Amino acid sequence: MSGFDKDWLALREPADVRARNQALLKAAIEAAESTSATAILDIGCGTGSTFRALLPRLRKPAHFRLFDYDPRLLDEAQRLHGNAVEIIQGDLNQIGALPLADISLVTASALFDLCSKEFIRRFVARLSQTAASLYAALNYDGRMRWSKPHPLDEAVVANFNAHQLGDKGFGFSLGPRAWETLTACLKEGGYATTTAESPWVMTADDRGLQLSFLDGVVRAVYEYAQLDENEIRDWADFRRKMVGRDGSLCEVGHQDILAIRRG
């Protein structure tokens, strides 16, 4: 199991929906619908958030394959969507076994920042054996910004980003740099590639998400163990107090990528 909790994925989904770059999402659907292939493969699908983002915008029926290795998340996707989707359990590291037949578009959300350089290279090599395009959304890019600054913000973000470079199941992760490596590999592979920012903008209305996100940041920074624990605790207390205050914003940077096969 992946350790991604369905409640966490549900909590973040409204912020993801707002954050997705709309022009890229539209172009991804156009790319999918411009080929004779009729299936869309969502890798690392979780409970199906990318399916839910694409479905209302489709102009033609498409067959969705949802691929993940976590049975709990796939059960939830099945419960939510029944026969509207094909559920496939598998490990992305077995790249040769990816169900890419008749796929017009491969999609992924919040996935590639978990991945290593070696995995990204292998994935792009496999993708380029097909005619499919790639829409990879919501890749964390290392930036966090709060409207009310705190002197430890920069150090906390740097420590969190360093912690992201651990092994998340694909070898040592590229974390916040993964989107750049993926983009470069796709360009080298001959894809026409577009990137666009897709930041989470969390306001007082996103209290639950902000608190849960802060818990994750604090946990990672403690684990990384380079900052003084009292300082981390003071920073966390300050940040938690700010959540829900009028006018207090938190932005978390993401990048969306669309890669269309040339020719």
Ligand X SMILES: C[S@@+](CC[C@H](N)C(=O)[O-])C[C@H]1O[C@@H](n2cnc3c(N)ncnc32)[C@H](O)[C@@H]1O
Tell me which residues touch ligand X (CB under 6 A).
2, 4, 9, 44-46, 49-50, 68-70, 73, 91-93, 109-111, 169
For residues 108 and 232, which CB has a smaller minimum distance to ligand X in the complex?
108
CB of 28 to ligand X, least distance (A): 14
CB of 237 to ligand X, least distance (A): 27
CB of 15 to ligand X, least distance (A): 11
For residues 206 and 242, which CB has a smaller minimum distance to ligand X in the complex?
206
CB of 107 to ligand X, least distance (A): 8
Q: Which residues of 120-158 are buried (b: 16+ CB within 10 A; e: fewer)?
A: bebbbeebbebebbbbbbbbbbbebebeeeeebbebbbe
Residue 78 burial by Cβ neighbours in a 10 Å radius (0-12, 13-18, 19+): middle
CB of 209 to ligand X, least distance (A): 13
Sign, CA dihedral 114-117-122-123, equals: positive
For residues 29 and 66, which CB has a smaller minimum distance to ligand X in the complex?
66
For residues 66 and 242, which CB has a smaller minimum distance to ligand X in the complex?
66
Residue 38 corresponds to which tokens in the numbers above? 């009729």
For residues 19 and 232, which CB has a smaller minimum distance to ligand X in the complex?
19
Phi/psi region, residue 228 (left: phi>0; alpha: psi -120 to 50; beta: rest), is beta
Quick check: 85 and 77 in contact, CB under 8 A? yes
Residue 218 corresponds to which tokens in the numbers above? 């604090």
CB of 2 to ligand X, least distance (A): 3
Nearest C-alpha neighbor of 3 from the set 216, 236, 254: 216
Residue type, 168: K
For residues 235 and 255, which CB has a smaller minimum distance to ligand X in the complex?
255
In this structure, what are the phi and psi dihedrals at residue 20, rounded to the nearest 5 degrees?
-50, 130
